[in-house]
Amino acid sequence: MPNKSQSSHQQSRRDFLRHMGSITAGLAVSSSALGAIQTASFDKTLMFQNLHTGEALKTTFYAAGDYVTESLDNINYLLRDHRSNQVGNMDPQLLTLLHDLKNMLGSADPFHVISGYRSPETNAMLNQRSNNVAKKSLHMQGKAIDIRLPGIDTKHLHQAALALQGGGVGLYTRSDFIHLDVGRVRQWGK
């Protein structure tokens, strides 16, 4: 049976460990709270120039820890199917991938958009004209975009997009653009 001195020592050791556990838990909460605050304050801005309509847009699509609905609506409109004027919903994950690509390259120029959202009718028509258009293109789901970036060689843009491993990346050197999507990771083109 422990004597009074040992019992007191064990109690103070338990109190010490309990106290240290509380401090450690407090630090963990503080660290995660700090991370949330830092993430929430990180804004994401994109610039686009639609080469078919001539429209341009600079907008912050993510701010204060959430997507900005009005900004997403403006992006959806700018990236609409220019042939049918149908507006689709662009996947926010694609916008984040574009944001990451632009940051990686350090470009201050807008993305030049060749194709964003495509209606099923437009996609079917393009598929009939070209072997380079997939029947089930991710453009129809707002998960793909065809772009170039002024001042950045298309092959360099392609390599940077591949490095992100965010989805499919196609290189179209004859037409001077890349395809970027948030489907499975794959590559094509030369």
pLDDT digits (tens, 9 = 90+) for 153-183: 999 999 999 999 999 999 999 999 999 999 9
Is 54 found in the same domain as 90? yes
Confidence of residue 135 (pLDDT cuts 50, 70, 90): confident
User: Same structural domain for residues 141 and 100?
Assistant: yes
Considering the domain architecture, whether residues 104 and 137 belong to the same structural domain is answered as: yes
pLDDT, one tens digit per residue, over 103-120 is 999 999 999 999 999 999
Of the ranges 2-11, 143-152, 176-185, which one carries the lowest mean pLDDT score?
A: 2-11
| pLDDT reading at 7 higher than 60 | no
Specify whether 81 is located in the same domain as 158. yes
Rounded Cα distance between 112 and 104, Å, is 17
Assess contact for 103 and 47: CB atoms under 8 A: no
What tens digit of pLDDT does each residue of 15-43 get? Answer: 655 555 545 444 444 444 444 444 445 89
> Is there a single domain that holds both residue 157 and residue 122?
yes
Which pairs count as long-range contacts for 140-143, CB under 8 Å and 24+ apart, including other chains? 140/88, 141/88, 141/91, 142/76, 142/79, 142/88, 142/89, 142/90, 142/91, 142/94, 142/116, 142/117, 143/91, 143/93, 143/94, 143/167, 143/181, 143/182, 143/183
- pLDDT over 70 percentage in the chain: 77
Given pLDDT bands bounded at 50, 70 and 90, which one contains residue 46?
A: very high
CATH number at residue 56: 3.30.1380.10
Contacts with 150 (C-beta within 8 Å, 6 or more apart), sequence order: 107, 109, 110, 112
**Do the Cβ atoms of 104 and 163 come closer than 8 Å?**
yes
* pLDDT at residue number 134: 75
Identify the three-state secondary structure at position 35. helix
Domain with 4 in it = 1-41
The verdict on 27 and 98 lying in the same domain is no
Per-residue pLDDT reduced to its tens digit, 58-105: 999 999 999 999 999 999 999 999 999 999 999 999 999 999 999 999
- Structural domain tally of the chain? 2
Q: What is the pLDDT of residue 26?
A: 46
Can you give the pLDDT at residue 127? 78
* One domain for residues 19 and 76: no
Q: Looking at the structure, tell me whether residues 163 and 110 fall in a common domain.
A: yes
Shared domain for 75 and 134, answered yes or no, is: yes
